Amino acid sequence: MTPLLSVRDIHKSYGARIGCTDVGFDLFPGEVMGIVGESGSGKSTLLNCLAGHLSPDRGEVIFDTRTDGPRDTLTMSEPERRMLGRTDWAFVHQNPRDGLRMSVSAGGNVGERLMAVGARHYGDIRDSATDWLGRVEIAADRIDDRPRAFSGGMQQRLQIARNLVTGPRLVFMDEPTGGLDVSVQARLLDLLRGLVREMGLSAIIVTHDLAVVRLLADRLMVMKSGRVVEAGLTDQVLDDPQHGYTQLLVSSVLQV
């Protein structure tokens, strides 16, 4: 089986400081990978390198494209990479303001990716926007409201709908539940888990919340100071942490 995403020896430094280094893994179709670690451990740098927002200093990010098979996205031309970003890839930001157009209605936000890949029929765009708002549990009568009028949890759900509308195969998520209260978090996680399973998505989720990866991720990578210190099946890593830092991380979770 060809991996959907194959990452080899990614290195990114900011001047003399290391962002992330020596990272490599394979992600197979339908698999969800979690990346955990403390602030400043290079999680977001890594994610941005993979998603093409940052260019790493060396390494390969090989994506199994629909048309041409496995290709290194770092050596792709920019139009091709941006096209991937609109079709087969999705990126969910921690802050929905970064991922949404705040001055455009919810329907327009969901429809933007469709129009970006050439949809030119208003009725069809409107129908799939309505359909997707329903799937992320936003009432259909809110379709013409601006995201400003939405709560934080709704904004995050809207962002997810906007990203999944073109049927991507790989979703990058940067702390998708950060900044939400626990009950809203729980609903969002439920929703995400349902969508990921139903659509057979592959996902890479960056978070510092171990509960999120326990719920969503099949596999886990633990990062510290820009390096991967431990990797394995989620339950295995969380129940039997080997590295000192992972042990610290697992034992730091507050029990209610």
- Rounded to a whole number, what is the largest CA-CA distance in the chain? 56
For other proteins, the binding residue among 8, 29, 71, 116 (CB under 8 A) is: 116
Choices 63-71, 100-108, 176-184, 197-205; region in contact with other proteins by CB under 8 A: 100-108
Residue 111 binding other proteins, by CB under 8 A: yes
For other proteins, the binding residue among 113, 135, 169, 224 (CB under 8 A) is: 113
C-beta closer to other proteins: residue 116 or 229:
116
C-beta closer to other proteins: residue 21 or 109:
109
For other proteins, the binding residue among 112, 174, 175, 209 (CB under 8 A) is: 112
Residue 123 binding other proteins, by CB under 8 A: yes
Of residues 246, 209, 214, 213, the one with CA closest to residue 227: 246
Alpha-carbon separation of residue 61 from 22, 23, 81, 100, 216 (angstroms): 13, 11, 12, 26, 23
Handedness of CA 23, 24, 27, 32 (dihedral sign): negative
For other proteins, the binding residue among 5, 47, 143, 204 (CB under 8 A) is: 143
Q: CB of 169 within 8 A of CB of 163?
A: no
Residue 55 binding other proteins, by CB under 8 A: no
d(CA 12, CA 213): 25
Residue 107 binding other proteins, by CB under 8 A: yes
User: What are phi and psi for residue 176, nearest 5 degrees?
Assistant: -65, -20
Give residues in contact with other proteins (CB under 8 A): 78-79, 82, 86, 101, 104-105, 107-108, 111-113, 115-118, 120-123, 125-126, 143-144
